[in-house]
């Protein structure tokens, strides 16, 4: 088996596995179907585009199909962007307006109407032969690059904002999926530079061994990263179920007075009253506590409470509440009368719902694991 056969076999295996993953996403039983469907479409579109590495000759009867396959790539960035939206926002739904994302795909196909789709085979082959010299082809190549940059930068911004909103409004510490989504977005963005490198090699060196290895590295890395992300997402489907799209980061809602807001006597009184309430009533023991819930309990409007915690106390609501949970856990861990309680029992008792998140938060706050803290305390 020569080198090029090895590269082709690798590409075939990669495409096959991506399609299997997509099929699994489409058939797995879950109440969060939209996100799975959008990511499956993203994978299928990538697999269809990757088939070009296995096609060395286009049969004349399949030229139209091959031309249509070229256009699929214009749906890839948009499909990933919509997937990010479905993960980050719990109330996201596909609407007719989202069809606007298909305009580049439609435009690319319209370009082929006069050159390929309704022409003779001879004219189709002549059109394909001269495609790379046509200004319209260069335009669509630049358009794809522009679309990729816009959609992935937009995805970064959405992930960042939704994570901020989550930390400012919710306390469930299980945000592994949103963190994994952020990482996979970075990886896919970086992998795109391999595509740019492939284009550069093609235009400078031409088709050859170097280009083939770049293609293989791109495909193999894409597959590995996708498998890792799906492992995180499917193994922990309840971790991050999105925020309400109407919620905004507090810095966008409240105008900044100063970089460090001046705390007056009234704010000091509100802060002390809030701290007393947290100690006396222990609302943090509710693992699903949100800032809306706490707002109703302390009789402070949500906007004012969020401003008080996030701006004047300079803490995310997430950290503010979890500090009380950790303090409660520390008291239990050093209480000899409760030494029979397991770590798992304690974390549930203080408002956490995951051992890993409890350990992470506890070590961040104390510098020790719960087990080590208990050993030293008792």
pLDDT at 242: 67
Residue 69 lies in a domain: yes
16 and 92 share one domain = yes
CA dihedral sign of residues 250, 251, 256, 259: positive
pLDDT at 259: 42
pLDDT for residue 345 is more than 80: yes
How far is residue 346's CA from residue 336's CA, in Å, rounded to a whole number? 14
pLDDT tens digits, one per residue of 78-126: 999 999 999 888 889 999 999 999 999 999 999 998 888 888 888 888 8
24 and 128 share one domain = yes
pLDDT at 255: 55
197 and 83 share one domain = yes
Please give the tally of structural domains in the chain. Answer: 2
- Length of the chain as a residue count: 378
| Three-state secondary structure call for residue 314 | coil
Say which range, 9-13, 47-51, 155-159, has the weakest mean pLDDT.
Answer: 9-13
Residue 176 lies in a domain: yes
221 and 289 share one domain = no
102 and 66 share one domain = yes
pLDDT at 145: 87
pLDDT at 257: 45
| Residue 243 or residue 283, greater confidence | 283
80 and 199 share one domain = yes
Long-range contacts of 45-51 (CB under 8 A, 24+ apart): 45/72, 45/73, 45/75, 45/76, 45/79, 46/18, 46/76, 46/222, 47/15, 47/18, 47/19, 47/22, 48/72, 49/73, 49/76, 50/11, 50/14, 50/15, 50/18, 50/219, 51/15
Identify the band that residue 29 occupies on the pLDDT scale cut at 50, 70 and 90. Answer: confident
Say which range, 56-60, 217-221, 277-281, has the weakest mean pLDDT.
Answer: 217-221
Mean pLDDT over residues 301-317, rounded? 87
Residue 243 lies in a domain: no
| Residue 19 or residue 3, greater confidence | 19
**CATH label of the domain that carries residue 173:** 1.20.1070
pLDDT tens digits, one per residue of 131-180: 878 899 889 988 998 999 999 999 999 998 888 888 888 776 567 778 88
25 and 54 share one domain = yes
Say which range, 230-234, 304-308, 364-368, has the weakest mean pLDDT.
Answer: 230-234
- Highest-confidence range of 59-63, 234-238, 320-324, by mean pLDDT? 320-324
Q: 140, 83, 74, 81: which is closest to 103 by C-alpha?
A: 74
The last residue of a domain, from among 200, 235, 270:
235
Mean pLDDT over residues 45-70, rounded? 85
Q: Which domain holds residue 308?
A: 250-377
10 and 156 share one domain = yes
Identify the band that residue 21 occupies on the pLDDT scale cut at 50, 70 and 90. Answer: confident
> What's the chain's average pLDDT?
83
pLDDT for residue 318 is more than 80: yes
| Residue 73 or residue 176, greater confidence | 73
């Amino acid at each position: 088996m020569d080198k090029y056969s090895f590269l082709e076999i690798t590409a075939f295996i990669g495409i096959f596995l991506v399609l299997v993953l997509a099929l699994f996403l489409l058939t797995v039983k879950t109440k969060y179907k939209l996100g799975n469907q959008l990511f499956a479409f993203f994978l299928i579109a990538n697999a269809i585009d990757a088939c070009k590495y296995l096609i060395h000759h286009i049969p004349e009867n399949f030229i139209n199909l091959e031309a249509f396959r070229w256009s699929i790539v214009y749906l890839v960035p948009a499909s990933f962007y919509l997937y990010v939206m479905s993960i980050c926002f719990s109330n996201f739904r596909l609407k007719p307006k989202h069809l606007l994302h298909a305009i580049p795909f439609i435009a690319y196909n319209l370009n082929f109407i006069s050159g390929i789709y309704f022409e003779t085979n001879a004219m189709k082959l002549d059109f394909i032969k001269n495609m790379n010299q046509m200004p319209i082809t260069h335009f669509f190549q630049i358009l794809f690059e522009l679309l990729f940059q816009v959609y992935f930068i937009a995805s970064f911004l959405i992930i960042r904002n939704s994570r901020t909103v989550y930390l400012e409004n919710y306390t469930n510490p299980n945000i592994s999926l949103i963190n994994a989504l952020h990482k996979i977005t970075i990886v896919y963005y970086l992998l795109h530079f391999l595509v740019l490198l492939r284009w550069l090699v093609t235009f400078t060196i031409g088709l050859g061994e170097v280009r083939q290895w770049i293609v293989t590295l791109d495909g193999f890395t894409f597959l590995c990263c996708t498998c890792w992300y799906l492992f995180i997402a499917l193994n922990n489907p309840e971790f991050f179920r999105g925020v309400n799209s109407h919620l905004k980061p507090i810095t966008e809602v409240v105008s900044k007075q100063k970089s460090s807001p001046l705390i007056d006597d009234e704010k000091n009184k509100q802060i002390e009253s809030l701290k007393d309430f947290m100690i006396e009533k222990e609302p943090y023991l509710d693992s699903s506590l949100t800032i809306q819930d706490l707002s109703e309990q302390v009789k402070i409007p949500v906007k004012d409470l969020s401003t008080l915690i996030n701006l004047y106390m300079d803490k995310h609501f997430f950290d503010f509440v979890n500090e009380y949970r950790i303090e409660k856990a520390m008291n239990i861990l050093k209480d000899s009368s409760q030494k029979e309680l397991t770590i798992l029992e304690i974390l549930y008792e203080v408002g956490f719902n995951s051992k890993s998140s409890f350990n992470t938060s506890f070590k961040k706050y104390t510098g020790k694991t719960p087990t080590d803290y208990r050993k030293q305390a008792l």
